[in-house]
Amino acid sequence: MKITDINQLKTISKEIRRSILKQVYSANSGHLGGSLSIADILTVLYFNEMNVDEKNPKWENRDRLVLSKGHCSPALYATLAEKGYFSKEDLKTFRNINSNLQGHPDMNKVPGVEMTTGSLGQGLSVANGMAIVGKLDNKSYRVYCIVGDGEIEEGQIWEAAMSSNKYKLDNLCVIIDNNNLQIDGSIEEVKNSYPINEKFKSFGFEVVTIDGNNIEEIIKGLEKAKNTKGKPTAIIAKTVKGKGISFMENQVDWHGKAPNEEQYNIALQELN
């Protein structure tokens, strides 16, 4: 059921952030910063925008999401559990050796995961394939692909972007999580990919820039993507790495580490 109440969506995104934090703390491992930055985007996709059925994850007419930045699996797992694909109790097993919820999402083990990801740069190619099949089969489903702003340093992203344009994939929406930080520092310091919007425009995309931590703007951006015909859309989502936890926000150190007990309790209190 589509949720249109903004406050309800904000409540869901906060619960997803709590679940992200609990997973990484429980496992003493995982990627917090980039998971927290996309929590609002995933909330809108799964609870407001995408046509999915958690009771029938393989329904052929479902919309698809490829989380190309697969290391941010805690955000996807938290969202899928909140939606009802599997029990939230399962989140406690995150990164355990025998758990289905591994550090990178596995399409063969986790209901709702459309593609096994982790090797950066490959998700858009897969999303292209899904969108092309949708066109060939005259299906109405849409395909969404979340990539990181550090990830777009991978050349395969741009090879895939050329294909998105070549096949006029207006059923495809690429969402760039532009939190401006990657594991080694800021985007400008590591390998400057700016201006991201002009790059995607030059590859034939309709480009929309939004505040990716603002529910209303995310909804409007996705609506514009849905109404764009004849070419794919790229949404540049300006986000805050570590969003929602004050001492993690915009701190590159929180790309891929777990909080200690004191930090966990402070973070949980903030999210509550």
As averages over each run of 10 residues, the pLDDT of the chain (272 residues) reads 95 98 98 98 98 98 98 98 98 97 98 97 98 98 98 98 98 98 95 97 98 98 98 98 98 96 98 94
The per-residue pLDDT for 192 is 96
Q: Residue 1: what pLDDT?
A: 81
- The whole-number pLDDT of residue 35 equals 98
User: Can you tell me whether residue 42 is helix, strand or coil?
Assistant: helix
CA dist 87 and 247 (Å) reads: 30
CATH class, 6-271 region: alpha beta
Q: CB–CB of 172/234 below 8 Å?
A: no
Radius of gyration of the chain (CA): 17
DSSP β-bridge partners for residue 86: none
CB 106 within 8 A of CB 116: yes
Domain boundaries, the chain: 6-271
Identify the pLDDT of residue 91. 98
